[in-house]
Amino acid sequence: FTACSSCPGAGQDVGRSCILVSIAGKNVMLDCGMHMGYNDDRRFPDFSYITQNGRLTDFLDCVIISHFHLDHCGALPYFSEMVGYDGPIYMTHPTKAICPILLEDYRKITVDKKGETNFFTSQMIKDCMKKVVAVHLHQTVQVDEELEIKAYYAGHVLGAAMFQIKVGCESVVYTGDYNMTPDRHLGAAWIDKCRPDLLISESTYATTIRDSKRCRERDFLKKVHETVERGGKVLIPVFALGRAQELCILLETFWERMNLKAPIYFSTGLTEKANHYYKLFITWTNQKIRKTFVQRNMFEFKHIKAFDRAFADNPGPMVVFATPGMLHAGQSLQIFRKWAGNEKNMVIMPGYCVQGTVGHKILSGQRKLEMEGRQILEVKMQVEYMSFSAHADAKGIMQLIRQAEPRNVLLVHGEAKKMEFLKQKIEQEFHVNCYMPANGETTTIFTNPCIPVDISLGLLKREAAIGPVPDAKKPKLMHGTLLMKDNSFRLVSPEQALKELGLAEHQLRFTCRVHIQDPRKEHETVLRVYNHLKGVLKDYSVQHLPDGSITVESILIQATAHSEDQGTKVLLVSWTYQDEELGSYLTSLLKKGLPQSTA
């Protein structure tokens, strides 16, 4: 068995997550992400490394998507509708529901660009989603007769899951992105003690010592509050679904507690949409939200209202969540342009921005932006970066390893140099191998699988009857014929095997020559041998046949005179394999020679 993992995509945190795992002859692709930083072929993983092995649909047994972020699912419609993969795709129910929204969002941004070809259409997104098989948590899904998968809760975002992939007794766990600490709306990742042969874990924050979440939240609220107090407007560019909901809950509770009056708006249409999905998938949120849901739905915000374009010009303070998250188009950019010139206002960027976007520019400190038509936009408003994304840190990764007890660990999504520390720690603490393959590198892991074998009832009974009574503590040796057919192993009696395979039985006899010194006639020598054996082997049936040969059970002994030396007799001893022990015993007995005088 070899489980090889290679990433046709880049392994940075905004990169294309895409891992290929071969386990016991099955090939599974884990995630199919895109790189937001490129506008050409480089945005998708290079699938030609897989197509070298023949048609994709024939080569891959299935594709598994861990969650709806584009760096994990963005290339999926391209892969299934344009590259031509037509096999099964698995993801959780919420991921299947939310994925198309984000894909549509991204498609919009992309086709907005001129001359954009080689990109999927809305119809393709739909056709792709129709191929997806949605799975429940902890439900064992049989992909085919040998391959099964199972999803575990991963926190991170709504619907995010870790997947266990199992073929026979070999298994791999892929974590996707996960979070080991519960937050305001999601719970913590959890997995069985499933002891996989390999755990593939993300390690985005493997080396980041993050300031406490509470601190970050306090800081965020303080900044928003201060701005609103001095009459300024706060813009928070976000993606449609995901961490935005966490921030909404945070602000909503704060507004409630502080009894604030400034309005909070969320990009129109999206509040309803988000609300809809969180209601639909309430079981995927954390305990607190689920418990209070009956009395009050946490996502039905009292203070957060739908945004209208006209509100941006309203005087007075306000907080607006607007899409898209990198300030590169649409509503968020429109509002940014209106508010940028006023130093009382603030923009809070809660996520990563790719190079070239306004978001990236202002985060890197640029304050004079050249907009189209050579207009210069002077940014006087305050610019803040605040990360709220939910990944496991080094402590969380160790915790998950402790939970799952894997035999090997493979870290992806991180810089090799920085991860070295974590790798050492894992190896020291858990005494398992830890790998960190670079992009495009294959890691091979050897395992000693125990292979289940079916045994025929007849054989079992027959073998059980022989020898001591079966004892659970003592392993019992059984004899039979191993049939390997159609990927299954069966132990059957030799007769049955012959019958099934349509083979004729052949008898194998072992023959051995023993020279003894005896000048007498041949038949006298035979008689001497017969008497000797009869004396030694009291429990066996020793016979002297009329043709001059001796049999001891199935063993046959004949004597001839040596062609050159009449004083030497040659004993031909032959036996079947069933009597091998007795045969070799007899030969060694005869080799010692005959007793000097026999009566």
Partner 1 sequence: MPRGCAALLPGVCAALADPRQPGLDDTCLEKLLDWFRSLTWFDPTVELVQDNPCLTELISSVLALPEPSPSILSFTLQLAGILASSESRFQHLQQEKLLERLFGQAGPRGRAVWEDASVRSGWVKGVHSMVHHQPALHLLCSEGGMDVIFTLQGDPSLFVASAASQLLVHILTFSVESEPSKPLGTKDCEWPACAQMIKRHIEESLQSSSASRIEQSLKLLTSLFGSCYAAWTEALWLDIAKQIESFLMEETVQAQHLLANLLLNVARSPVFCDTEGSFWALVTSALEHLTPVQAGPLAVGLLKLCKCPQDVRIQALTVLLQPMDCILRAASQPLEYAGLLDESVSDPVTVESLLSSKTSCAGLLCQTLAHLEKLLSLKHLEVDLPCMSLLRSLMAILQFCNGFLSPASPLGSTISRNLINCFRVQKSALDVLAALSEKKGCDTLLGSLFDVLLAYLESPNTSPTVLKKAFQATSKWLMHLQELSCSSSQCQRTEKILKDVFVVLQKRLCSPCWEVRDSSLEFLTAMIKCLRDQDEFRQCLLSSEVPRLTENLLEDPESYVRASAVTAVGHLACITYFAPESPVLGNQDNKENTVAKLQEILSTDSEGFPRRAVISIFTKWLREGCTGQLEDTEQFVSRVIQTVEHDLDWEVRLGGLELVEAFCSQTICQRGLSECPYAPAPSAATSASHQQDLLQGFCRAKLFGFLFRSLCDCDKPVGQRACDILIGLRGNFYPMSTLENPREIGDSPAGRGIAWLQRTLRQGSLAQNFPTGGDNGVDFQDPESMMVALGAIDLLELHDELNKSSDHVEESPQSLLQDILATVGTIEDNEVDCY
The residue (of 110 and 286) whose beta carbon lies closer to partner 1 is 110
The residue (of 10 and 559) whose beta carbon lies closer to partner 1 is 10
Minimum CB–partner distance for residue 574 and partner 1 (Å): 39
Minimum CB–partner distance for residue 240 and partner 1 (Å): 11
CA distance 22 to 30: 11
Residues 6+ apart with CB under 8 A from 368: 376, 377, 378, 379
Q: Helix 270-280 to helix 93-111 angle, to the nearest 10 degrees?
A: 160
User: CA 583 → CA 41, 225, 541, 586, distances in Å?
Assistant: 73, 96, 14, 5
The residue (of 210 and 230) whose beta carbon lies closer to partner 1 is 210
The residue (of 337 and 515) whose beta carbon lies closer to partner 1 is 337
Minimum CB–partner distance for residue 487 and partner 1 (Å): 5
Minimum CB–partner distance for residue 226 and partner 1 (Å): 20
Alpha-carbon Rg of the chain, whole angstroms? Answer: 37
The residue (of 384 and 463) whose beta carbon lies closer to partner 1 is 384
CA distance 172 to 406: 9
CA distance 5 to 300: 43
The residue (of 41 and 581) whose beta carbon lies closer to partner 1 is 41
Contact criterion met (CB below 8 Å) for 170 and 197: yes
Contact criterion met (CB below 8 Å) for 356 and 246: no
Minimum CB–partner distance for residue 415 and partner 1 (Å): 8
170 flagged as catalytic: no
Contact criterion met (CB below 8 Å) for 16 and 2: no
Give burial (CB, 10 Å; 0-12/13-18/19+) of 304: buried
DSSP string of 521-578, one letter each residue:
-HHHHHHHHHHHHHHH-TTS-EEE-TTS-EEETTEEEEEEE-SS-TTEEEEEEEEEGG
Minimum CB–partner distance for residue 572 and partner 1 (Å): 43
Q: Which of 81, 170, 202, 384 is catalytic?
A: 202
The residue (of 105 and 197) whose beta carbon lies closer to partner 1 is 105
Minimum CB–partner distance for residue 65 and partner 1 (Å): 15
E strand or H helix that includes residue 73: helix 70-73
Distance linking the first and last C-alpha atoms of the chain: 65
Minimum CB–partner distance for residue 516 and partner 1 (Å): 50
The residue (of 357 and 493) whose beta carbon lies closer to partner 1 is 357
CA distance 87 to 83: 12
Contact criterion met (CB below 8 Å) for 277 and 96: no
CA distance 400 to 129: 31
Residue bearing tokens 């997947």: 163
Show which residues are catalytic.
202
